[in-house]
Structure 1
Amino acid sequence: MKKTIFALAALGAFAGAASAQTNVTIYGIADVGIQRIDTNTTEARWGLDSGIQSGSRLGFKGSESLGGGLAAIFTLENGFNIDNGALGQGGLLFGRQAWVGLSGGFGAVKFGRQLTPIFTALDSIDPFGTGLTGDASGIAIGGTTAAAPGFRPYGVRMNNTINYSAPAIGGFNAQIAYGLGEVAGSTSAASQLGASIGYANGPINAVFAYHDANNAAGTGDSRTAMLGATYDFRVVKAHAAFAVNRDELGATRTGNSRNAMLGVSAPIGAGTVIASYTRHDDRLGAGTADADYWGVGYTHNLSKRTNLYTSYSRLKNDAPAVPDVNWFNVGVRHKF
């Protein structure tokens, strides 16, 4: 018993010393709601779903001063499904983020699984914050009934990533990220490259982002260039984005499309009304994958950390053979 008490005391003393040197924050989001999904060819599906407005998560982030303005930084972020307790992101322990790096007057360099520059850029100008149905981060376009005309089928996170973020100067910010493919005999296969440059000052927030993802064989890639902006008129904020998408396999172009998004958000009392319209223009398949996607939503703050939300969206495909899709949800989100 005495040895156990001594060991616990020693561990507590060590933890106290470590916490005095390193600032560690534990944070998270618990988000769950009731959601209805239906198409014009299938019956409606009702479910209790996790992470509708924001992915449910548990995270740890911290920094340690190394002197001379240099600091060690890290983030470990686990994603989970609050409706059934399962791990998110395919069962990864820290599937949302897992990185360590250094920061200082030069900016920051981070190594590990990270959000891509193009997703961060889109999140900053999407009125739905890349959350809730109606947002601009849908997975694909056409052919799948659970898809929305978002900006690409990739671009949320990158593995094996080296990311450099420049220090903000005069409202300007920039970052570049490279994800190693780790394929023997090839430096291009399965690799990814992303970059963004933005300007945020007063009512203006503008950003340009680029992402290039090579396939696993190194024989083709998918590229997106996106320009977006918001302008805050105080009573209402305007949102807009435009993206050009190209897919190539060898010398053959397999994809060519455009996406355009217009949206608004307006504070009303303790809540915010949001709406957006996205148009997907297929330039390769003679318009067979064209689609319109619009959504409306409302969030209501119960406190600084807890809010209620609801949203409705509709995907209308131009091709008669591709089903149209409707989404509706209502839920609660708590940040801690």
Structure 2
Amino acid sequence: MRKHWIAASALTAASLGAHAQDSVTLYGRIDAGLEYVNGLKDGARWRAESGDWGTSLWGLKGSEDLGGGTQAIFKLEEGFQIMTGEMGSSGDLFNRYALVGLTNPTWGTFEMGRSLFISNGVWDFDPFVQEAFSSASLVRGRNWPQVSNSFNYQSPNFYGFDFAGQYALSNSTNFNGASNAGTPAALATTGRAAGAQITYTKGFLEVRGLYDEIRDGNGQFSNLFAFSREYTAAINLIFGKWKIQAAYEHLNANAVTDDGPTSGDHEWLGVTYQFTPAAALTVGGYHINVNRGGGNATLYETTATYNLSKRTFLFLTAATVQNSSTANFSLFAEPPDNSAAFNTTSQQAIQNSQNPYPGHSQTGGFAGILHQF
């Protein structure tokens, strides 16, 4: 009996010791305010906003010490609309992250599950940090999707360099995507997705090169803003109170079967000045040019932020997008009017999109408060 008691006590102590080294963190951010936009097809609009500066979200992340510097880790994260309490646009629980993996300071971090796509790596180089009006706008959301069934790796830093890679399986019988390949529905289904990025950081300089690809249900690059290859080169320069950010992106889709564009060039430049520890101002712009008569557009923007504390700040953003005669890019990361994202080509769907009419401009702004916890 005494041996059983000693063994049980040892197991209990070991269990308590293990739990003492575990950690689970609840975190999130809440963004809300007021938005105004004119140049919509049906005129101007005022509305309450949730997520214009940054997606409102909450999440759980945790780790368990496995010894030797290795930890088991997990991350669960969901976006939501604070104005209505609804979950994010996909309606899924943990629609942003649902990951489990291992991390070690020597060999890096490996995770599996649902994740933001690697193209979101432009966030670090976007002067407007992927606000509602940002680097995603003129590529119609191409650089901020999520992927399921993904395998992700992030290396440690070696002499200023670090590497990240991602591969997302389609989990379908034909490997690429939809098992009913060749049908219109298959063309609207995401197949395999993959990407890699390398970053160099030293002192005032940060440079990143990124390649990513998203295939349709047939394994093809059939839509410039949905199923395509993307090449990105980006740079950050920080001098005292000044931060300069610039990037160039090239998009290519070589299997477009309709009259849509097959190539696009997207670039941006922004400057941030930190007036005081609490107040900052950013000015900048984005430009895109697409082939096959898709035209070009330029988005000009400015944002002011004021920190009320380390976790709460006020924001004010104003922007305008100017379209050439054949272009109809929106301030928002809006799909084309004939996009399969609407699941219809009806005139009602076109009318309800946030794109302006071709050749028309769009101007808007939003202001609010963001709190992080």
TM range (shorter): 0.7 to 0.9
Matches within 5 A, 1:1-336: 19-39=19-39, 41-104=41-104, 105-120=106-121, 122-133=122-133, 135-138=134-137, 149-150=138-139, 153-187=142-176, 190-220=191-221, 221-249=227-255, 254-269=261-276, 270-282=278-290, 284-286=291-293, 288-319=294-325, 322=358, 323-336=360-373
Task: For residue 94 of structure 2, give the secondary structure of its aligned residue in structure 1.
Answer: coil
Tell me the distance in 2 between the aligned counterparts of 1:205 and 1:116.
21
Farther off after superposition, 324-333 or 299-308: 324-333
1:267 counterpart letter in structure 2: Q
In structure 2, the CA distance between the partners of 1:45 and 1:19, relative to structure 1 (3 Å rule), is: farther
Gaps of 5+ in 1: 1-14, 139-148
Kept in 2: contact 1:89–1:96 (CA 8 A) = no
Tell me the distance in 1 between the aligned counterparts of 2:76 and 2:244.
34
Tell me the distance in 2 between the aligned counterparts of 1:251 and 1:278.
28
Kept in 2: contact 1:151–1:243 (CA 8 A) = no
Kept in 2: contact 1:259–1:280 (CA 8 A) = yes
Tell me the distance in 1 between the aligned counterparts of 2:319 and 2:250.
23
2:267 counterpart letter in structure 1: A
Tell me the distance in 1 between the aligned counterparts of 2:89 and 2:74.
20
Give the drift of 1:219: 3.4
Aligned residue in 2 for 1:10: none
Task: For residue 119 of structure 1, give the secondary structure of its aligned residue in structure 2.
Answer: helix
In structure 2, the CA distance between the partners of 1:251 and 1:37, relative to structure 1 (3 Å rule), is: closer
Tell me the distance in 1 between the aligned counterparts of 2:58 and 2:97.
11
Tell me the distance in 2 between the aligned counterparts of 1:48 and 1:205.
36
TM-score normalised by the chain length of structure 1: 0.86
Gaps of 5+ in 2: 1-14, 179-190, 222-226, 327-356
2:82 counterpart letter in structure 1: I
In structure 2, the CA distance between the partners of 1:33 and 1:152, relative to structure 1 (3 Å rule), is: closer
More strand by share: 1
Give the drift of 1:150: 3.7
Kept in 1: contact 2:31–2:82 (CA 8 A) = yes
In structure 2, the CA distance between the partners of 1:136 and 1:234, relative to structure 1 (3 Å rule), is: same
Aligned residue in 1 for 2:181: none
1:210 counterpart letter in structure 2: Y
Task: For residue 95 of structure 1, give the secondary structure of its aligned residue in structure 2.
Answer: coil
Give the drift of 1:154: 4.8
Tell me the distance in 2 between the aligned counterparts of 1:151 and 1:35.
20
Tell me the distance in 1 between the aligned counterparts of 2:80 and 2:36.
21
Task: For residue 249 of structure 1, give the secondary structure of its aligned residue in structure 2.
Answer: coil
Farther off after superposition, 224-233 or 33-42: 33-42
Aligned residue in 2 for 1:8: none
